[in-house]
Chain A
């Protein structure tokens, strides 16, 4: 069975600082990996996705993530955060595009202005 672990429930960073949100996955085959963001009282929006090729994938709003098969990780990064990045970030894994997603428990990011 597939699973996702996001070890940090809450992260606080200062505006302009760099960011890394951690994600570890468990899946027997090559996974499809996603990062979603949820702003307060809104639905989830996809930031980026990975299923093959360059292990570093670029997403919206300056976010990127790096896939590591050896480490079973898919960490999200941003070079310089803005206060508007404050939200909850979910990592998710799927057996394939269009298949059901398994989500991590999320990381709540607070950016101090």
Chain B
């Protein structure tokens, strides 16, 4: 089964600070994704990537940057964290034509 890990698992950040969330997968998947989940809502796609050194905007990219330095690693960057970015963030990966596998999530609280 696919293994997707995320770090940190939880974080408290200050408004205006920089936050970096990391994701690592060990299954040679080409595709990686970042979603956010808000209480009472489904997951919404922030950024995704089909190949290393390339990222694409998802449905809600504003306020977020992404970086894919290698096939295994995909980071989500909040340059200026805001209160509205308090949420649970999930990373996922998939092979070219296969199911998406999700990491355990990172709980981010912005104060």
- Distance in angstroms from B103 CB to nearest chain A CB is 5
* Complex interface: chain A residues within 8 A of B95 (CB): 98
Sorting the interface of chain B by its residue count into under 10, 10 to 19, 20 to 34 or 35 or more gives 20 to 34
- Distance in angstroms from B44 CB to nearest chain A CB is 7
B94 touches A97 (CB 8 A): yes
With A105-B41, A106-B42 in contact, do A43 and B97 touch (Cβ < 8 Å)?
Answer: no
* Complex interface: chain B residues within 8 A of A28 (CB): none
Q: Return the CB mask of B43-66 against A: 1 if under 8 Å, else 0.
A: 111001000000000110000000
Number of interface residues of A (CB under 8 A): 23
Cβ of B100 within 8 Å of any chain A Cβ, yes or no, is: yes
- Distance in angstroms from A90 CB to nearest chain B CB is 6
- Distance in angstroms from A13 CB to nearest chain B CB is 21
Cβ of A70 within 8 Å of any chain B Cβ, yes or no, is: no
Q: Return the CB mask of B10-50 against A: 1 if under 8 Å, else 0.
A: 00000000000000000000110101000011111100100
* Complex interface: chain B residues within 8 A of A98 (CB): 30-31, 94-98, 100
